[in-house]
Structure 1
């Protein structure tokens, strides 16, 4: 029985199927449903869990080579929130692009993890290394 780290079997299964250069979306509570890709919904309530909660649990065992995020994130969030994301991203290369371009990447992902995160444009796409 697992006692630490990610315990959700659906999240673990999704992560295990992601290979080199595949992508994974970690999205907020309001992100649109995409029937083309598997969605694991772990939203419990507003703010639980957050995109960063999931990212911080994934990164110790998941080699992230690149992150994409909508550039609108910078204009709609506080400096403190922007700094929190930057801290979790660490040295992972980050590309910010218009939200309409960001959404074009979504259907190509292996899957999407929906969180309870309320931060505008806080969605991210991770590319495995």
Structure 2
């Protein structure tokens, strides 16, 4: 049994297969999953697991160079805005796009990790960096 990293075999598999600039989405429970994009559904009940629980777990195990959020989060989700600032402080490029654009960008993701989060616009597209 694994001692470190993700215990969820699907998340571990997707992260291990990521190349530079590939993307993975961490989504709230309401984001539509595009046809043809793998959905790793870790939701249990409303709010469990939360967006930040899953985001923190992925960030601990995955080199991110760019994060994309819906611009609507700037006025509808202060906690997401605070996390944007933390990512910028960690030298991650952070972009905001309209939610409709965000949903189109999800079509290019390797996978969407669906959480139980139920706060507005708690979604992010993470683009893989390189570790060398």
TM-score (norm 2): 0.87
Q: How does 1:50-65 map to 2 (within 5 A)?
A: 50-65=50-65
**Structure 2 unaligned regions, length at least 5:** none
Counterpart in the other structure of 1:2 = 2
For residues 11-46 of structure 1, give each alpha carbon's deviation from its aligned partner in whole angstroms, at most 9, with x where no partner exists: 111111111110001100111122221110000111
Counterpart in the other structure of 2:82 = 83
Question: Post-superposition shift, 1:90?
Answer: 4.1
**Structure 1 unaligned regions, length at least 5:** none
SS in 1 for 2:34: coil
- Structure 1 range deviating more: 4-13 or 80-89: 80-89
SS in 1 for 2:61: coil
For residues 38-96 of structure 1, give each alpha carbon's deviation from its aligned partner in whole angstroms, at most 9, with x where no partner exists: 11000011111122111111122211000000000011124x55324533664211101
Counterpart in the other structure of 1:95 = 95
Counterpart in the other structure of 2:127 = 127
Relative distance call for 1:77 and 1:37 in structure 2 (3 A) is same
Residues paired across the two proteins, number: 128
